[in-house]
Amino acid sequence: MDTALKNEMERLTALGLHRRCVEGALEGVAALTLEINRLKKAKNAVICAHVYQTPDIILGIGDLVGDSYKLADDCRKTQADAIIFCGVHFMAETAKILNPSKKVYVPSRNAGCSLSEAITAADVRKLKAAHPGLPVVTYINTSAEVKAESDCIVTSANAEKILKRMYEKHPAVIFIPDRYMGANLAKALGKTPGKDIILWHGACVVHEKFDASLIAAYRRKYPGLAALAHAECPSELISAVDFMGGTGDMLRYVENTNASAYLLVTECGFGELARLKFPGKNFIAMCRLCPYMKSITLNSVLALLKDPAPEEVTVPADIAARAKVAIDKMFELAA
Ligand code: 13P
Ligand code: SF4
């Protein structure tokens, strides 16, 4: 076997990636990560990997890894000429808006998001007309056009903090498009949906379907269990868990606590990553796959590196300029 391939297999094994490969499969994974990392360097490209990607992508080829907020922030600082976004389209659009001079690519045409598809710019204009004077606070899981109609963007990592700041100046806000996250935030802040916070009917296809009634059964089976859920889950489920947050907050919670077991109610890639990062901790799976995130594979990243042009992400300059004002507001208020 070629020495470079042998070394790559050893590198992946040290990262724990052999544990998710059936007998003999690691060699194929190593051949792909080796070639991707070689091409990436040659093209001065950086690979962003959201934590819902598979661990071979996150650990094998990812340069910038994290939740939506961290990835957007990290992208602002990169010196690379090109950004390959292993995440979903709205994340890549955000990277492009923040880096207009860089090329940005997504290695799948199917990497959408049910939340992003739930609302259009015309819908936001109608909401604004129906509630004049109220600021539009928009979850980052939206299109560039929707961001351009917004006053401030938020992610799950900073939504509560930013909403608090908004309420210092406004009696009510429009929060779009996730009705569950909006209701969860309203509850945390003591606000009334429909009165203090105007919601839209969007939902995440992954998080809206978790069954809240199962949490009690897990607790009976695993005494001392810590149950963590993403803020996109319905309120009934959030009431049953110990911690609600974004993926970055959930990882920090696991790192800083010592529960007998952790129930992670979110996309499956997150649990896979948590197992590899914290091998001494016990994780219980109550996860669902995001079909959009999982449309990206090592093979699709390699294909993109060989022929990037068709997968380039572009945002019209006027939309990008308006969306950037709302994204910059997030960085200002989240700091
Ligand atoms: P995070 O910003 O918490 O990683 O969430 C992104 C997302 O799409 C959750 O479904
Ligand atoms: Fe969108 Fe849900 Fe997938 Fe996140 S998990 S990218 S919110 S569909």
Ligand 2 atom, smallest distance to 114 CA: 8
Q: Low-confidence residues of the chain, pLDDT below 50?
A: none
Strands of 103-105's sheet, edge to edge? Answer: 64-66, 45-50, 82-86, 103-105
Q: Tokens representing 158?
A: 């900073």
Is residue 210 within 6 Å of ligand 2 at its C-beta?
Answer: no
205 lines ligand 2 (CB under 6 A): yes
Assign domain 116-204 to its CATH superfamily: NadA-like (3.40.50.10800)
Query: What pLDDT is stored for residue 21 in this prediction?
Result: 80
Confidence at residue 23, expressed as pLDDT on a 0 to 100 scale: 77
pLDDT at 285: 77
Between the CA of 113 and the centroid of ligand 1 the distance, in Å, is 10
Verify whether ligand 2 is closer than 6 Å to residue 180 (CB atom): no
| CATH 3.40.50.10800 residue window(s) in the chain | 3-112+294-311, 116-204, 207-289
- Which atom of ligand 2 is the closest one to the Cα of 87? 6
Amino acid at 169: K
Helix (H) or strand (E) holding 169: helix 159-169
CB–CB of 85/109 below 8 Å?
no
Instruction: State both tokens at 228.
Output: 């963590």
CATH 3.20.20.70 fits 207-289, yes or no: no
pLDDT of residue 73: 97
Q: Which atom of ligand 2 is nearest to the CA of 266?
A: 5
pLDDT at 118: 98
How confident is the model at residue 20, as a pLDDT? Answer: 81
Structural contact between residues 74 and 80, judged by C-beta atoms closer than 8 angstroms: no
Q: What tens digit of pLDDT does each residue of 31-84 get?
A: 999 999 999 999 999 999 999 999 999 999 999 999 999 999 999 999 999 999
Pocket of ligand 1 (CB under 6 A): 51, 67-68, 141, 155-156, 204, 230, 232, 246-247
The CATH fold assigned to 3-112+294-311 is Rossmann fold (3.40.50)
Q: Whose CA is nearest to atom 1 of ligand 2?
A: 113
Rounded to the nearest whole angstrom, what is the distance from the C-alpha of residue 141 to the centroid of ligand 2? 8
| pTM across the whole model | 0.96
DSSP-derived pairing of the beta strands 243-245 and 136-139: unpaired
Q: What is the pLDDT of residue 216?
A: 95
Can you give the pLDDT at residue 199? 98
